Amino acid sequence: MNVSTSKQYINGEWREGRSEKTLENYNPYTNDLITTIRSANETDLDEAYQAAEQAQREWVKLSPADLQQHLQNLLQVMKEEKETIVDWLKKEAGSSATKAEIEYGAALGITQEALSFPTRVSGTIFPSNIPNKENYVYRKAKGVIGVIGPWNFPFHLSMRSVAPAIASGNTVVIKPSSDTPVTSGMLLGWLFEKAGFPKGVVNVVVGRGSEIGDAFVTHPTVEAISFTGSTEVGRQIAVNAGQHLKDTALELGGNNAMLVLDDADVDAAVDAAIFGKFLHQGQICMALNRIIIDTSIHDEFLEKFTERTRSLPYGDPFDSQNVVGPLINQGEVERLQKEVNQAVEDGATLEVGGKHEGNVFEPTILSSVTSDMEIAKNELFGPVATILKAQGEQEAIDIANNTIYGLTGSVFTRDQFRGMNVARQVETGMIHVNDQPVNDEPHVAFGGEKHSGLGRFNGEWALDKFTTTQWVSVQSQNREYPF
Cα distance between residue 361 and residue 338, in whole Å = 12
* Pair 376, 369: CB distance under 8 Å: yes
Query: In whole angstroms, what is the distance from residue 360 CA to residue 368 CA?
Result: 25
CB 366 within 8 Å of CB 348? yes
Asked if 251 is an active-site residue, the reply is yes
What whole-number distance in Å separates Cα of residue 277 and Cα of residue 272?
8
Q: Which residues contact 148 (CB under 8 A, 6 or more apart)?
A: 174, 175, 216, 225, 226, 227, 228, 229, 237
Which residues lie closer than 8 Å to 355 by C-beta, 6 or more apart?
Answer: 361, 362
Is residue 282 within 8 Å of residue 378, measured between CB atoms?
Answer: no
Interatomic CA distance for residues 261 and 304, integer angstroms:
16
d(CA 153, CA 207): 19
What is the C-alpha separation between 478 and 483, in angstroms, rounded? Answer: 14
Give the end-to-end CA distance of the chain in Å, rounded to a whole number. Answer: 69
Catalytic residue among 223, 251, 362, 379: 251
Catalytic residues: 251
